Structure 1
Amino acid sequence: MTMSDTDRSVEKRAATTRAITAAVVSAAVAVLFSALPARSEISELRARDAAIALSRGDSVAAVDHYTAILAEENIPDDRRATLLNDRAVAYVRLGKTREAIEDYNKAVVLFPEYAAVYNNRGNLLMALGLHGEALKDFNRAIALAPGYAAAYNNRAGAQSRLGHADDAIRDYTRAIKLMPSSPAPLAGRGKAYLSQDRPHAAIRDFSRAVGADARFATGYRNRAEAKIEVAHYNEAIEDLSRAIAFDVANPEAYLLRGHSYLAIGDAPAAVTDFTRVIELAPSDTIGYEARGLANTMAEAFDAAFADLNEAIRLNPRSATAFAYRGFAYVRNGQPDIAQRDLDAAAALEKDNPEVLWALAESEEAQGRSEKAIEHLRRALAIKPDFKRAADSLQRLGFVLASASDTPVKGLGGFGWQVIANSGRFYAVSDNHPNIRVPLEPLGEGQPRILSWELKDAPFRDIGVLTYHGGVIEGREKPEEVELAAIIDLKSNSVVAIEPHRQGKEVSNWTWGENGRVTIASVDGVTDEFTLRQVRQEPTVSRYRQQDRGESSDPYWAPWNEGPWASDPSHRSRSASRARKAKKPKSFFQLLFGN
């Protein structure tokens, strides 16, 4: 069949139409693809979404985003390493330790100069209890980035867990200098000071930590522990109350506060706190033991025996529970039954301070004071800050200083003597026999008394004892340091121990008429203490003659004071009259004296 001219014309038009259509489609597709972001831009968008998910705590979404990006090819090694590091962080939060370690290891291979990945891997190794391996990672991170504050803080944590308290303190100090407003290194150094029996130094760091973060519950709890060591129980109770307000389900805080209440003789309040401990940790004996002791102190013997019986049921090998129950029998007038429990406690843990204290209470109740004193001295040798044992010794008329104090010649002065006791140094004075000043060191060397100053009113009975605190590493060379102990002779307590001098730098003390002292310390921190409550003289209102044109309202007018003062209408009328009376003079009036 032959195609006609008409058919050829139709076919030609159709072909032309198809060509035009194809061209238009191709152009549209080109325009569409040109409007889409490039592959690198898509990756950046995904990375941003991943970072947002990670910051919001959506670790699952973060892992998905990072995995999608890492599946792409042609990503530079350093960029891939950072993505692996970030995905590892998300894995850690999800508890996927193996996957996190694999990502960190890959990142280290791809980008060995990346300090953050060593720091993060070190944190994970710390969580796994591999403190030595973690220390190696923190060392590498610091070598790569000498100003890496977080790495110093984390390395200090590793040093603490390895028992290297001095090294930990040095690292925490570097971290504090690099990030002075962060509570973490301050709290860490405070705990290191506590481990070295330096509670006053610890209190100072914990105070700065909670000053940096007023909601830092751990900081309040740690400061309370330090205050308990220096027998500042009421202050400890305040700190623990703050900690509980921010962390209401922490049994440790209730336990510490309960024991602080016991120390000041408030057994009912202690029972309330120990009850909360039991509610939060019902399978732990510690709450029942503590409440049993508190109920005994409150002479609620039935409740005490019920608690201590439950503690022994939960843990038949609890020496403390047997000791407390024995003490309860002693207080309840049942010495024979008490002795069986006390013998069982001593058989389980003969060197437990609580057991020794309970044995002493039994001996005292039976009139054997010398035997009681022997048990109490042993208890204090094991636990020097054991208040109940110290109180019992004082009640028995025993002077602890004569027992195990060793005078150190050549270190005293100004009416004070330096003595050593259980590896610690104290300042004692015959002029002030009821106080022992702990001479906490700051560096290497023995403490030496340098000065003693008693203040005048309004700081009567406040004294400042300065002493040599050792030698520490300075900026250029080792430097000697001095510390100053603020002592309240009225309450026989040490208020604080402050760094006073380091090398050539000296702190600045301002003693105010308001009973407060402000100390700008050598380490750049300012502390303030209210040492005396100064009574303020009441302000006496006096009648004065009114100026011409001034409001005729007397100063005692009811609409100016009392319940009427809150009435806006009275305030507005009075203010209007005052404004009329105080109309400012014009320039010409001022110039010509009119």
Structure 2
Amino acid sequence: MKMPAIRIAQVLLVWLVVAGQARAAENESPRPPGAIEGAAELVNGDVGKAIATYTDALKDTGLANDRRATILNDRAVANTRLGQTKLALEDYNRAVELFPEYPVAYNNRGNLLLSIGQLGEAMKDFDRAVLLAPGYAAAYSNRGNAKLKLGKPAEAVADFTKAIELMPASAAPLSGRGLAHLATGKPHAAIRDFSRAVSADARFASAYRNRAEARLAVGQRDEAIEDLSRAIAFDVNNAELYIDRGYAYLLAGNTASAMKDFSRAIELDGKSSTAYQGRGLANGIAEATDDAFADLNRAIELDPRSPVAFAFRAFVYKQNGKPDIGSKDVETAIKLDPNSPEALWARGEIAEAKGQADTAIASFRRVLQLKPGWQFATDALTRLGAPPDDVDDKPQPSLDIDKWHVVQHGKDYFATSDNYPQIRIPLEMSGEGLPKLLAWEIQPQPHSTYGLLRFSGGRVPGKNGLEETELAAIIDIEAGKLIAIEPQRQGARVSTWTWDGDQLQVASVDGVTDQYQLRPPIVAVVGQRGVGSDKRPYGNANQPWEAWNPFGPQPSRGEPKSQRRQKPKSIFDLLFGN
């Protein structure tokens, strides 16, 4: 039976991507038939057969070194899928020995080394890959992942940004940069990148999960639950996703739904200590004491070194009027991990029960430093009549503009307004510097309930050295809340903003376009498209945009959707971003 032409094209494309040749197709000699067949089998999921096909192809004694290296690389990819790490490493090593200028093999070997914890060696391979192919987006993204694991999130941001510049439609570097932003305390920047990632790949479950974490950090619990529900829809048997949503439900006060999710996680993985300790906490909050102790005892049996299980059991003892017994579990939890937010929270709960208000307040404040979205600590401080921290706002008048003021709170900066006292804007920076306010602009009708607060974003590395950046906070004045923070300028590049009906489109300086859902304008739009629209304040782009939403209803207000405008790329461009 003949393979359809479209299918042949798909197989050839996959073969080229897997092999990663660094030459244009017209300059290549015919490819070994066995290698093409192996790529097709790999795509179809028949990994074992693909390995056999590659092995047969390698028996050709007439293969040039570079061709042999590409087949070895492909077989290594297949062996990695089967968990045959040693065999895969042997193939990668042989590939780079035969073809030392082969960037794809270095990149792939780097990924394998990264997966087995060989971070230093992985970094060497990624460095070699980008040296050989400066436009290799995947290598920059993977090196960013390595830097994240090495605890260098700021350096990781630079690599992910380079990958995004080279391939703005790729979800992986966008999600990676979101994780780096989270690690550097920039949840709003993280939300923006995770939103772009799921727009690039609607089935990217981990990006929904990561965005949920960022949203919990800024108190957007309902939106976080929605994101986790989307992730579960794409990965219905992932116990960890149910656990994450269970905690989100708990923080939102929906104990019954949390219980269902933890129970579902236990059905999927009966040996998950994390699932049992989550359900134990839910039972404790619901005052189902016997069930709570049963779950937490089981969690400790499964993982005797879990500080969280001991902490939650301490909380249940406190709920049951036995704080002294709970104190022993708190001591164990703190011993296991002195910086466990859950252990510190339990210590605060026990201290509160014993009337030790100062100790309780200090513990709860420490929890919020480590885990800002832990609503239980916030609620406890409210009960005790204490603010979230003991740091006072320090005015920074040199950074102010008329009616808007900057305050420093610990290491962070916020903007406050004389006219809108309910609004407090976190001034997340892009680079080094101070967040000097630049302008406050209320949009004209029909979008006069929205405003943009522009501020300096600091200096970041660019093509010509350090470049100044600006950011713009999109503020819903009527709701009294921040919608998002968008990059506005970097060096000479400036974002283009289009306000059109109930949509705001921002063509950002990094090549990605974000879309925000607004309230329907009060003034009806009549006539042809664009009449009644306000395209300001930066540029005059007016590209049409069709809302995409696989879940039926329109996206929630303020949720960005992204689009990319790119010219068609060759296989060489796709591999190396040229």
Equivalent residues in 2 for 1:168-567, closer than 5 Å: 168-335=156-323, 337-342=325-330, 344-346=332-334, 349=337, 351-365=339-353, 368-400=356-388, 402-403=390-391, 405-408=393-396, 410-429=398-417, 434-454=422-442, 462-488=450-476, 492-512=480-500, 514=502, 516-532=503-519
Corresponding residue of 1:573: none
Distance in 2 of aligned mates of 1:58 and 1:268: 43
Is the 2:450–2:475 Cα contact (8 Å) retained in structure 1? yes
Corresponding residue of 2:56: 68
Is the 1:43–1:69 Cα contact (8 Å) retained in structure 2? no
| Paired amino acid for 1:175 | A
Is the 1:458–1:532 Cα contact (8 Å) retained in structure 2? no
1:79 aligns with 2:67: yes
Distance in 2 of aligned mates of 1:371 and 1:158: 39
Distance in 2 of aligned mates of 1:210 and 1:258: 22
Distance in 1 of aligned mates of 2:357 and 2:446: 44
Is the 1:149–1:179 Cα contact (8 Å) retained in structure 2? yes
**CA deviation after TM superposition for structure 1 residue 435, in Å:** 4.7
Equivalent residues in 2 for 1:109-128, closer than 5 Å: 109-128=97-116
Distance in 2 of aligned mates of 1:42 and 1:401: 68
Distance in 2 of aligned mates of 1:252 and 1:528: 30
Corresponding residue of 1:563: none
Is the 1:381–1:422 Cα contact (8 Å) retained in structure 2? no
Distance in 1 of aligned mates of 2:425 and 2:48: 56
For residues 526-558 of structure 1, give each alpha carbon's deviation from its aligned partner in whole angstroms, at most 9, with x where no partner exists: 323234356799xxxxxxxxxxxxxxxxxxxxx
Q: Describe the shift of the 1:492–1:258 C-alpha distance in structure 2 as closer, same or farther (beyond 3 A).
A: farther
**CA deviation after TM superposition for structure 1 residue 254, in Å:** 1.2
Q: Percent identity?
A: 52
Q: Describe the shift of the 1:224–1:384 C-alpha distance in structure 2 as closer, same or farther (beyond 3 A).
A: closer
Is the 2:35–2:53 Cα contact (8 Å) retained in structure 1? yes
Distance in 2 of aligned mates of 1:42 and 1:493: 60
Q: Describe the shift of the 1:406–1:285 C-alpha distance in structure 2 as closer, same or farther (beyond 3 A).
A: farther
Q: Describe the shift of the 1:315–1:99 C-alpha distance in structure 2 as closer, same or farther (beyond 3 A).
A: closer
Higher relative contact order structure (alpha carbons within 8 Å, sequence separation ≥ 6): 2
Partner-residue secondary structure (3-state), 1:146 = coil
For residues 233-278 of structure 1, give each alpha carbon's deviation from its aligned partner in whole angstroms, at most 9, with x where no partner exists: 1111111101001111222211221111112211111111111222
**CA deviation after TM superposition for structure 1 residue 499, in Å:** 0.9
1:157 aligns with 2:157: no
1:100 aligns with 2:88: yes
Partner-residue secondary structure (3-state), 1:57 = coil
**CA deviation after TM superposition for structure 1 residue 416, in Å:** 4.0
For residues 419-464 of structure 1, give each alpha carbon's deviation from its aligned partner in whole angstroms, at most 9, with x where no partner exists: 4445333334566555542211111222222233456776576443
Is the 2:501–2:520 Cα contact (8 Å) retained in structure 1? no
**CA deviation after TM superposition for structure 1 residue 72, in Å:** 3.0
| Paired amino acid for 2:504 | V
1:148 aligns with 2:148: no
Is the 2:114–2:146 Cα contact (8 Å) retained in structure 1? yes
| Paired amino acid for 2:468 | E
For residues 339-362 of structure 1, give each alpha carbon's deviation from its aligned partner in whole angstroms, at most 9, with x where no partner exists: 554455455555433233334334
Instruction: Report the TM-score, using the length of structure 1 for normalisation.
Output: 0.75
Distance in 2 of aligned mates of 1:399 and 1:393: 7
Distance in 1 of aligned mates of 2:360 and 2:317: 17
| Paired amino acid for 1:242 | R
* Structure 1 gaps, min length 5: 1-40, 538-594
Of 214-223 and 473-482, more deviation after overlay is shown by 473-482
Q: Describe the shift of the 1:461–1:43 C-alpha distance in structure 2 as closer, same or farther (beyond 3 A).
A: closer
Partner-residue secondary structure (3-state), 2:463 = coil
Distance in 2 of aligned mates of 1:59 and 1:443: 45
Corresponding residue of 1:556: none
| Paired amino acid for 2:188 | H
- Richer in helix (by share): 1
For residues 116-174 of structure 1, give each alpha carbon's deviation from its aligned partner in whole angstroms, at most 9, with x where no partner exists: 22222222222222222122222222222222222222222222222332332222222
Q: Describe the shift of the 1:275–1:181 C-alpha distance in structure 2 as closer, same or farther (beyond 3 A).
A: same
Q: Describe the shift of the 1:376–1:482 C-alpha distance in structure 2 as closer, same or farther (beyond 3 A).
A: same
Distance in 2 of aligned mates of 1:100 and 1:317: 34
Q: Describe the shift of the 1:325–1:429 C-alpha distance in structure 2 as closer, same or farther (beyond 3 A).
A: farther
Partner-residue secondary structure (3-state), 2:366 = helix
For residues 200-225 of structure 1, give each alpha carbon's deviation from its aligned partner in whole angstroms, at most 9, with x where no partner exists: 11111111111111111112111111
Partner-residue secondary structure (3-state), 2:159 = helix
| Paired amino acid for 1:520 | A
Q: Describe the shift of the 1:489–1:376 C-alpha distance in structure 2 as closer, same or farther (beyond 3 A).
A: farther
Distance in 1 of aligned mates of 2:433 and 2:127: 29
* Structure 2 gaps, min length 5: 1-28, 525-578
Of 67-76 and 478-487, more deviation after overlay is shown by 67-76
Q: Describe the shift of the 1:64–1:379 C-alpha distance in structure 2 as closer, same or farther (beyond 3 A).
A: closer
Q: Describe the shift of the 1:430–1:313 C-alpha distance in structure 2 as closer, same or farther (beyond 3 A).
A: farther
Q: Describe the shift of the 1:67–1:484 C-alpha distance in structure 2 as closer, same or farther (beyond 3 A).
A: same
Distance in 1 of aligned mates of 2:31 and 2:391: 74
Distance in 2 of aligned mates of 1:131 and 1:343: 35
Distance in 1 of aligned mates of 2:290 and 2:329: 17
Is the 2:218–2:372 Cα contact (8 Å) retained in structure 1? no
Is the 2:276–2:296 Cα contact (8 Å) retained in structure 1? yes
| Paired amino acid for 1:527 | D
Corresponding residue of 1:10: none
**CA deviation after TM superposition for structure 1 residue 497, in Å:** 0.9
Of 287-296 and 483-492, more deviation after overlay is shown by 483-492
Is the 2:165–2:510 Cα contact (8 Å) retained in structure 1? no
Is the 2:168–2:511 Cα contact (8 Å) retained in structure 1? no
Distance in 2 of aligned mates of 1:43 and 1:504: 45
Distance in 1 of aligned mates of 2:45 and 2:136: 25
Distance in 1 of aligned mates of 2:95 and 2:301: 53
**CA deviation after TM superposition for structure 1 residue 108, in Å:** 2.2
Partner-residue secondary structure (3-state), 1:282 = coil
| Paired amino acid for 1:202 | A
Corresponding residue of 2:46: 58
Corresponding residue of 2:572: none
Distance in 1 of aligned mates of 2:63 and 2:443: 71
Distance in 2 of aligned mates of 1:519 and 1:307: 48
**CA deviation after TM superposition for structure 1 residue 491, in Å:** 5.1
Corresponding residue of 2:560: none
Q: 2:37 aligns with which of 49, 65, 70?
A: 49
Is the 1:441–1:469 Cα contact (8 Å) retained in structure 2? yes
Partner-residue secondary structure (3-state), 1:410 = helix
Distance in 1 of aligned mates of 2:336 and 2:131: 50
| Paired amino acid for 2:42 | L
Is the 1:125–1:134 Cα contact (8 Å) retained in structure 2? yes
| Paired amino acid for 1:391 | D
> In terms of Rg, which structure is larger?
1
Q: Describe the shift of the 1:50–1:305 C-alpha distance in structure 2 as closer, same or farther (beyond 3 A).
A: closer
Distance in 1 of aligned mates of 2:411 and 2:221: 25
Is the 2:164–2:510 Cα contact (8 Å) retained in structure 1? no
